[in-house]
């Protein structure tokens, strides 16, 4: 997207300059392209900073949670993909926080529950805020 927008934007500026003092339509065209570029930048920044909870969850998920060892966003590795987990938890309106506290039942792949259970030693040592961040991160998929 960026690689497309930049040359397009540069071309638009060139066009606006070339037609300097000319008619309005071209100026408007240049303006909208400028706005579009700004919007693109803002969106990119938003995606990272939009939800600090999701960002924190990602840090824990990849860091001290070591969850990435078994969970990837879109493919099943040892554990189900985050997309699969997210889908089922949203459908059933269930709580990942409760699951990670060993207070809920496995909903995604009960036959592999024992493998996941080994991680409760880590997740039960986490604060509610940390678990909520993990939940927000998983549900962001
Ligand atoms: C050793 C591999 C492994 C690690 C590490 C791991 N998981 Fe899992 N996880 C699994 C497996 C296997 C399942 C499927 C069994 C199940 O659904 O309970 C699973 C299932 C889940 C589920 C779905 C639970 C359900 O209702 O079925 C969630 C949510 C989850 N993991 C979150 C995490 C989080 C958060 C971490 C990091 C703190 C983590 N997992 C680390 C293997 C792992």
What confidence tens digit (pLDDT) does each residue in 3-34 have? 455 555 544 444 444 444 444 444 555 444 45
21 against 136, higher pLDDT: 136
- Check pLDDT > 90 for residue 128: yes
| d(C-alpha 120, C-alpha 109), whole Å | 16
| Closest by CA position to 112, among listed 79, 139, 85 | 79
Partner residues linked to 130 by β-bridges: none
109 against 38, higher pLDDT: 109
112 close to ligand 1 (CB < 6 Angstrom): yes
Residues 78/70, Cβ–Cβ less than 8 Å: yes
32 close to ligand 1 (CB < 6 Angstrom): no
| d(C-alpha 127, C-alpha 1), whole Å | 39
Q: Could you confirm whether domain 52-139 is CATH 3.30.465.10?
A: no
Residue 50: pLDDT band with limits 50, 70, 90: confident
| d(C-alpha 27, C-alpha 25), whole Å | 5
| Domain residue extents for the chain | 2-49, 52-139
Q: What are phi and psi of 37, to 5 degrees?
A: -65, -45
Residue 32 CA, ligand 1 centroid: distance in Å: 46
Residues 3/40, Cβ–Cβ less than 8 Å: no
pLDDT of 4 reads: 53
59 against 9, higher pLDDT: 59
pLDDT of 29 reads: 53
pLDDT of 79 reads: 98
pTM of the model: 0.74
């Amino acid at each position: 997207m960026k690689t497309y927008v930049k040359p397009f934007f540069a071309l638009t500026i060139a066009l606006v300059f070339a037609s300097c003092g000319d008619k309005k339509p071209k100026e408007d065209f240049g303006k909208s392209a400028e706005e579009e570029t700004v919007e693109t930048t803002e969106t990119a920044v938003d995606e990272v900073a939009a939800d600090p909870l999701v960002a924190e969850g990602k840090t824990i998920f990849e860091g001290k949670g070591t969850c990435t060892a078994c969970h990837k966003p879109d493919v099943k590795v040892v554990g189900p993909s985050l997309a699969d987990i997210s889908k089922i938890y949203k459908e059933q309106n269930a709580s990942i926080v409760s699951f990670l506290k060993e207070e809920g039942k496995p909903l995604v792949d009960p036959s592999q529950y024992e493998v996941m259970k080994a991680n409760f030693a880590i997740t039960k040592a986490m604060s509610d805020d940390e678990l909520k961040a993990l939940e927000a991160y998983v549900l962001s998929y």
